Amino acid sequence: MSTVVSVVIVTYNSSKFIIETLDSVYNLTWKDIELIITDDCSTDETVELCETWLRQKSERFFRTCMVTSEVNTGVSANGNRGLGKVTSKWVKLLGGDDVLVPGCLTYNMEHVSANPDIRVLFSQLEVFRDTFEAHNYDHSTPEEVGSDSILWSQRSVDSQYRMLLKTDRIHFSPSVFIHMDALVSVDCFDERFRDFEDYTLWLNLTRKGHRLYFMKKVTVKYRMHAQALNNTGISQIVNPNYYKEEGMRKLYTYPYLPLDLKLEARHIWFVAQLFRLKELNKRTKLNLFLWTLLRRYLNPFSYYIAIKKRLNPKLMENELYL
């Protein structure tokens, strides 16, 4: 007998793409699906389109649920509202502008059934520009998972956590397939940070002892487009989201980093303040040269760290210094 799996679609002003997203869930090969759509006070027709689609297609699903909000609260709270309606054990999170490949849930469920220790599973995603037509295909990620990857099969969960303390090394978040027990154990998304939910989740999960696993199969098609929150700043040197994340770094990473790495990161933060200026933040050759000069070559802490690693080669085995 098939196991029910939940798909939680997180939307905000997704009217341009949401029907394509919903249709991809409808066409999944997995039989028993709980479909939950959670909307963050969209100002376009997203909610109306979803409600109409659900009235027409709900018979295909084990259960459907539409969650709405009267105020815009951000991605983290929006995701938590959807997760709060989940009744199954396994969850596939999905943005309102991406699509699942037909075998997505089948691949994931077969893999976790064969590997019962897994609670957090990543896989490959294909990246497209604007539309999912073949000529707009950009790349797949991750292509390979070698010994330098956070998802290397021999890496411990403690090692993964240390790697994440240095920087967010997961650029394929939309592929995640996760057990509700793992999410509940870390209280799901941290709502203090409304527009970047993933990084804090990975830090909390690994700190709690939930190892991140990988399956080499494409399960998601990810859309890069100008309206996406995490695609703002594509033509800029410093993504505007970087400035929003400083409060998170003060809570989640700086207190747990060695002093030299913390000072190096703070130097980059202060340099980045110059690039708040619109003209400086344009991705020109001159501005890129200036960014590299100030961030790297005029960063005294980077030289200190380089000397420290030369004098103590064992540091090269420490994930924080890779």
Low-confidence ranges of the chain (pLDDT < 50): 1, 233
Cα–Cα distance measured from residue 78 to residue 94, given in angstroms and rounded to the nearest whole number: 12
Cα–Cα distance measured from residue 305 to residue 265, given in angstroms and rounded to the nearest whole number: 12
DSSP H helices, 66-212, are 75-83, 104-114, 157-166, 180-185, 198-207
Q: Which residues of 40-77 are buried (b: 16+ CB within 10 A; e: fewer)?
A: bebeeebbebbeebbeeeeeebeebbbbbbeeebbbbb
Using one digit for the tens of pLDDT, what is the confidence trace for 166-193? Answer: 999 999 999 999 999 999 999 999 999 9
Cα–Cα distance measured from residue 45 to residue 39, given in angstroms and rounded to the nearest whole number: 11
Using one digit for the tens of pLDDT, what is the confidence trace for 288-300? Answer: 999 999 999 999 9
* Extents of the domains making up the chain: 5-231, 240-321
Instruction: Say what the pLDDT of residue 1 is.
Output: 45
Torsions phi, psi of 280, nearest 5?
-75, -25
Instruction: Say what the pLDDT of residue 201 is.
Output: 98
Choose among 65, 70, 20: nearest CA to 42. 70
Instruction: Say what the pLDDT of residue 228 is.
Output: 59
List CB contacts of 296: < 8 A, sequence separation 6 or more.
Answer: 302
Considering just the CA atoms, what is the radius of gyration of the chain in Å? Answer: 21
Using one digit for the tens of pLDDT, what is the confidence trace for 228-276? Answer: 555 554 689 999 989 999 999 999 999 999 999 999 999 999 999 999 9
Instruction: Say what the pLDDT of residue 144 is.
Output: 86
* Domain 5-231 bears CATH identifier 2.60.120.10: no
